Structure 1
Amino acid sequence: MTARPWHAEAWARLQARRERDALPHALLLAGPAGLGKREFLADFVKGLLCQHPAGGQACGTCRSCHLVAAGTHPDVIALGLGLRKDGGTRTEIVVDQVRDLSQRLSMASQFGGWQVATVDPADAMNAAAANALLKTLEEPTPSTIILLVADEPARLPATIRSRTQRIDFLVPSHEVSLEWLRGQGVPDAAAALEAAAGNPGLARQWASDGALKQRGEVRHDLKALAAGRGDAMEVVKRWQATDPARYAWFAAQAATDELRARAAGRPAPLESQLDDESLDAWYGKANRAREALRGPLRTDLVLLELIAAWR
């Protein structure tokens, strides 16, 4: 079992099914990045293949555990973003990868137990890959379990979602998150948790990688631009230099805080000149910019359009 308290219920349910020999042939671990889905997955796989498990926990000392730890267990097939011919990392999982996976799963387990296939990120499969996986899901082989991981499960076709049993990882309560962060020794835990919209995993990461500083920059930039100060191109250049999607996240968050302050009759922190309707529309635009930054569009143009709408 992982050290994240919000995993306890899902872990207990899954282990109960295992004890009844009622595990599904396909599971979808779904929820926002930062909630420990992959840690949960790793612990489950280790326990499933362990030769001497206790309560679903791997012993860590048997041959199977050593092979899993080394990444060489013959009954574990991990499917992820592969490499292109030029050596770069693909941005999607392609059909040939899924066909290779299906071929592997058609063979018998080498250890005589479970065969485990992981697909991560499953929401990065292109349409052809998803269709190919669908055939495998419809005709599961005995003692085989396919584990899909998706930060954005809505990107998966409904046909894939309907053929898997889903475990949702939800953002825990503020109290649970804050207690966990403090137990992890995270500095400025409350501020980090606010920046991460309550997501404790992201909060832990952001507390150590400069994200809180970036959040402050975004608010300073938007306030200056609202007052007619600052250079839009200079702002765009800074935002795109490190993690533009995160800057867009903080921009959308800042717009929400502005609207809340107005609704509560408090001084608006950004002093935006936009009316409430326009500010709400700009919030949507910031979120669409985050989405657009995933694709082939030029980062500077996406950000410039967003900044221009703010001014």
Structure 2
Amino acid sequence: MSTPPWHAEHWARLQARRQRNALPHALLLCGPRGLGKRDFLRRFVRGLLCQNSSDGDACGTCRSCLLFDAGTHPDYVSLSYGLRKDGVQRSEIVVDQIRELSARLATSSQFGGWQIASIDPADAMNNAAANALLKTLEEPASQTMLLLLADEPWRMPATIRSRCQRIEFQLPSQAESLAWLQGEGVRDAAAALAAAGGNPGLARIWAQEGSLAQRQDVRKDLAALAAGRGDPIEMGRRWLDNTPDQRLWFAAQAVADEIRARATAGNGPLSSSLDVEQLGAWYDAANRTREALRGPLRGDLLLLELLGRWR
């Protein structure tokens, strides 16, 4: 995959700071999923550790690059969801992980350069973990860098966000997005971009995965329910078994289109009996359900309630 053009400004700014020896000790890379934050992070860390970097990019052949590519570089650690004692993956980053990370950053660099750690997703830290990280952010050791990556930075405490230099990835213009998608070989780039809400990264991923067909399936399901032909229980189970978060995104998008169609043509393609105010309430409920699916509540019951309201 080519480097997205919307990375260029952030990259140039970081490299200018590197040339001035003014890189911060903590960076927060944030913005919508799909815009390549993780690729940006990897490129930046790889170049920072490289022994023969050029314009910030790694050479790919030095010992540091080879170790980094093998995942064994002694001066870089990546922290994400760990495993519980029973072997099940955690749904959050916990305080013990942060304490181990802080201890690692306090050691000397084996290559005599940067000690770097990344936390991804940083918005998955629980309160105790975030509080433990504060001390490291407030009293950073020399030549250490902490990189936090978050799709939803508002989930993080303000005390954490305020102590990091923020690099925010925003949606590029439609023209820039379409040009990039076409360069990536995405067919019907305009339709894919519309389905992804203007997010070119998601548009590329969904086009490759065939998710645009799922978008149409969701609209057919909602139209069937509105006509009294569908079964909310069966439909909820089917949605839950196959990317429910994505299906709810498409469902909310379909309802937004229905509202717009009502405003211009007087009726919409879903033929819902709900009025515009009720449609707006259902749109909000769909987004709340997406959020609730991340929690401990039963997904089948959440979807049944939502689809029952639509019917």
**TM band (smaller chain):** over 0.9
CA distance in 1, matches of 2:208, 2:172: 21
Counterpart position of 1:138: 138
CA distance in 1, matches of 2:284, 2:8: 35
Counterpart position of 1:280: 280
Give the Å deviation of 1:226. Answer: 1.1
Counterpart position of 2:111: 111
Note if contact 1:123-1:151 (Cα within 8 Å) is conserved in structure 2.
yes
CA distance in 1, matches of 2:209, 2:266: 31
Deviation per CA, 1:129-169: give whole Å up to 9, x if none.
00000111000011101000000000000000000010000
Q: What amino acid is the match of 1:248?
A: L
Mapping of residues 38-77 of structure 1, within 5 Å: 38-77=38-77
CA distance in 2, matches of 1:168, 1:44: 15
Change in 2 beyond 3 A, CA 1:2/1:116: farther
Gaps of 5+ in 1: none
Partner SS for 1:294 = coil
Deviation per CA, 1:252-307: give whole Å up to 9, x if none.
11111111111223641111111111110110000000001111111110100100
RMSD: 1.2
Counterpart position of 1:12: 12
Q: What amino acid is the match of 2:147?
A: L
Give the Å deviation of 1:86. Answer: 2.0
Q: What amino acid is the match of 1:86?
A: D
- The worse-fitting range, judged by mean Cα deviation, of 191-200 and 280-289 is 191-200
Mapping of residues 284-295 of structure 1, within 5 Å: 284-295=284-295
Partner SS for 1:264 = helix
CA distance in 1, matches of 2:39, 2:310: 39
Partner SS for 1:147 = strand
Counterpart position of 1:249: 249
Give the Å deviation of 1:41. Answer: 0.2
CA distance in 2, matches of 1:204, 1:161: 30
- The worse-fitting range, judged by mean Cα deviation, of 135-144 and 264-273 is 264-273
Mapping of residues 129-278 of structure 1, within 5 Å: 129-265=129-265, 267-278=267-278
Aligned length: 311
Give the Å deviation of 1:235. Answer: 1.2
CA distance in 2, matches of 1:11, 1:264: 43
Counterpart position of 1:100: 100
Moved over 4 A (4+): none
CA distance in 1, matches of 2:16, 2:208: 37
Note if contact 1:123-1:155 (Cα within 8 Å) is conserved in structure 2.
yes
Give the Å deviation of 1:2. Answer: 6.2
Give the Å deviation of 1:214. Answer: 1.3
Give the Å deviation of 1:12. Answer: 0.4
Counterpart position of 1:303: 303
Deviation per CA, 1:57-87: give whole Å up to 9, x if none.
1111111111111111100011111112222
CA distance in 1, matches of 2:99, 2:279: 47
Partner SS for 2:274 = coil
State the identity %. Answer: 67
Q: What amino acid is the match of 1:149?
A: L
Q: What amino acid is the match of 1:125?
A: M
- The worse-fitting range, judged by mean Cα deviation, of 43-52 and 225-234 is 225-234
Partner SS for 2:33 = coil
Deviation per CA, 1:193-246: give whole Å up to 9, x if none.
111111111111111223111111111111111122221122112111111111
Gaps of 5+ in 2: none
Q: What amino acid is the match of 2:229?
A: R
CA distance in 1, matches of 2:264, 2:50: 55
Q: What amino acid is the match of 1:137?
A: L
When normalised by structure 2's length, the TM-score is 0.98
CA distance in 2, matches of 1:207, 1:86: 37
CA distance in 2, matches of 1:219, 1:93: 36
When normalised by structure 1's length, the TM-score is 0.98
Q: What amino acid is the match of 1:175?
A: A
